[in-house]
Structure 1
C-alpha cells in the first residue's frame, strides 16, 4: 500500500467497554500496537494511516453512518438499534470473551398467558433495545408501548412493572432462574465490523479496511490453535496422518537422503495432550508444538 497522502487516514472506532481490552489485544496480535489512556478517548496507534477513537458500542453505528468514524467494531444488536445505514464488513467472533454470539429474546413471567408476540397487543414492554423492539412490533402491526430500561430488566416483569421484556442472553439460564419464560427469539447478535458507505466506496479506504479485516479475522482464527511438526518413518505416514486433525491435509515432506518424512499440521491446542502419546506410539519423533499468530 502506498504511503498516505493528504486526507488518506482511516478513522477507526474501538468499542469502549467490555470489548475494549480484547480489541486492543487483537489489534496487537494482528500487527497494530494501540496504546490507551484513561485520560483520553483517542488511543495512539503505530500506523500513520490510522486514527483511533474509543466509542461506546451503542453509538458506533450512528458515528460510522455520519462519517465521524470510517470503520468500527460493535455488536450487531447496537448497530440495528440505531438503525444505521452502514456496510457490514465482517463478523468478529471474539472467542476469549463472554460476549460471543448472544440472543435478544422476548420474555414474560412463567405464569403469563402470552405464547406469541401477537398476544402482547396493547402491552408494555421494557428493554434497553427500544428502537429495534419498536420496529419489530410495528413491522408485525402489533401495537405495544416500549419503555427504556436502565437495568435490572428481569425484575421489572417479575414485579409487574411491565407485561414483557426484551433482554439479552447467552444460555437463558438467568432468565429461567428468575421464574421467567422465553416466548421467542427476536435477534441473534455478535460483534461486527461496520464501515461508512462513502469510506467503503473510496478505493484507498476500502483497501485499508479490507487489510485490517483480513488480519483481525486471521488472528481470531488462530486463537486456540497450534502448529505441530514431527519426523516419522515413511511406512508410518498413513497411520499418523489418519489420527492428525488439520485444517485441510497435513504437509508431508521426505527428509534428505532418508526413508523418514517430516509431517506438519495445524490443530486445536486442546487436542495436543490427547494426540501426542498416540504419535509417540506410532513412531513419531522430534515432536514440536509452536504457537500461531494468524491463520489466513
Structure 2
C-alpha cells in the first residue's frame, strides 16, 4: 500500500490564496462544491479541507500528519507540533495577521489594565485568558460565534480579534489598544509524522517549494541586451538579488544581461535602463525562487 501524507488545508477565507500558492509551487488542487476531500496531482498527498481553527488540534492528535494554519490557532489549541515552515501569506496580502485588543473609539479604556472586571468577546479564548493573566487582569472572556466587531460597546466592553488591514475595525468605529500577537500561516506537523522518514522528507520538499513560490510572488526576471561600453552605467542603476548574469552575444560587441528584482522596482527602472543604453528589455514572471 502506497504511503501518503495526510495534509489539512484551510477551508474558507484562506482557501483560495492557499490553492494559488500550491499552484505556483507546482501542485494543482481541484475541489468539487461542498467537498472536503479535494484532489491533488500528487499521489503521495491526501488533502483534507477544514476550518483553520481546527487544523492544529487534528494535527496534534495525529488525525492529520500535517496542516496549514495560523500561529494564532496553533497557540489557541495549545498544539504541541513541529513547525516545518513559516509561510507569510494571508487572505489579502503577504503581511502578518494581527491579533488585537480593540474597544470603542469613544471608550475610556486605554490599556489592558482598564479591563479589570470587564467583559471581552473573542474566538481566541485561551489566548486572551493567557494574555490577561500575564498582565495581572481579571476579566470575563466569552466565546464569540462571529460578528465580533459589532458587539462593542453594547454587549461587551472589548474584543480580541484578528485583523489583516484594520478596515473592519475602523468601519465599526473601534480602536486598537494593544497587539497580542502577529501571526503568519505555518506548515506544521505532529511529532509522529516528523519521525517518519518518508513523511519528513515529503514535508521538507513541500516546504522548499512553497517557500520558493512565496519568494517569487513579489519578484520578476529582467532580460536585456546592451553595448559592452554601457555595462558599467547599467550596473550602477540595476538592483539584483546577488550579481546579474552577463554573457557575450556571438560575433558582437553586445552583451546579454539577466537579473531578478522586486516587481515594484521595474516600473521606474525600465525607462532608466533604456536611457542608459539597454535594448530588447523583457520582463517575465517567476513561479519559484529557491536560494
TM-score by length of 1: 0.90
Instruction: Output aligned runs, 1:77-156, within 5 Å.
Output: 77-94=72-89, 97-98=92-93, 100-156=95-151
Q: CA RMSD in A?
A: 2.0
- In the alignment, which of 68, 72, 76 is matched to residue 71 of structure 2? 76
Structure 1 CA distance for aligned equivalents of residues 83 and 47 of structure 2:
19
Structure 2 CA distance for aligned equivalents of residues 229 and 96 of structure 1:
32
State the partner residue of 2:257: 263
How far the C-alpha of 1:94 sits from its partner, in A, is: 2.4
State the partner residue of 1:217: 211
Deviations 1:217-272 (A, max 9, x none): 10111113221111111111111122122211211122334332211111233333
State the partner residue of 1:16: 11
Residue 173 and residue 30 in structure 1: after superposition, are their counterparts in 2 closer, same or farther (change >3 A)?
closer
State the partner residue of 2:31: 36
Deviations 1:68-114 (A, max 9, x none): 11111112212211111111222212277247412111122334333
How far the C-alpha of 1:286 sits from its partner, in A, is: 2.3
State the partner residue of 2:226: 232
Instruction: Output aligned runs, 1:59-74, within 5 Å.
Output: 59-74=54-69
Residue 50 and residue 123 in structure 1: after superposition, are their counterparts in 2 closer, same or farther (change >3 A)?
same
How far the C-alpha of 1:275 sits from its partner, in A, is: 2.1
**After the TM superposition, which parts of structure 1 deviate over 4 Å for at least 4 consecutive aligned residues?**
none
Does residue 1:188 correspond to 2:185, yes or no?
A: no
Structure 1 CA distance for aligned equivalents of residues 275 and 95 of structure 2:
38
State the partner residue of 1:250: 244
Structure 1 CA distance for aligned equivalents of residues 55 and 95 of structure 2:
18
Residue 134 and residue 29 in structure 1: after superposition, are their counterparts in 2 closer, same or farther (change >3 A)?
same
Residue 278 and residue 110 in structure 1: after superposition, are their counterparts in 2 closer, same or farther (change >3 A)?
closer
Structure 1 CA distance for aligned equivalents of residues 94 and 263 of structure 2:
22
Deviations 1:267-295 (A, max 9, x none): 23333332222222222122222221111
Structure 2 CA distance for aligned equivalents of residues 177 and 23 of structure 1:
27
Residue 240 and residue 44 in structure 1: after superposition, are their counterparts in 2 closer, same or farther (change >3 A)?
same
CA contact (8 A) 1:102 1:168 kept: yes
State the partner residue of 2:21: 26
TM-score by length of 2: 0.91
CA contact (8 A) 2:90 2:184 kept: no
Residue 283 of structure 1 aligns to a residue in which SS? coil
Q: 5+ unaligned residues in a row in structure 2: which ranges?
A: none
CA contact (8 A) 2:90 2:185 kept: no
Structure 1 CA distance for aligned equivalents of residues 106 and 279 of structure 2:
63
Number of aligned pairs?
Answer: 290
How far the C-alpha of 1:145 sits from its partner, in A, is: 1.3
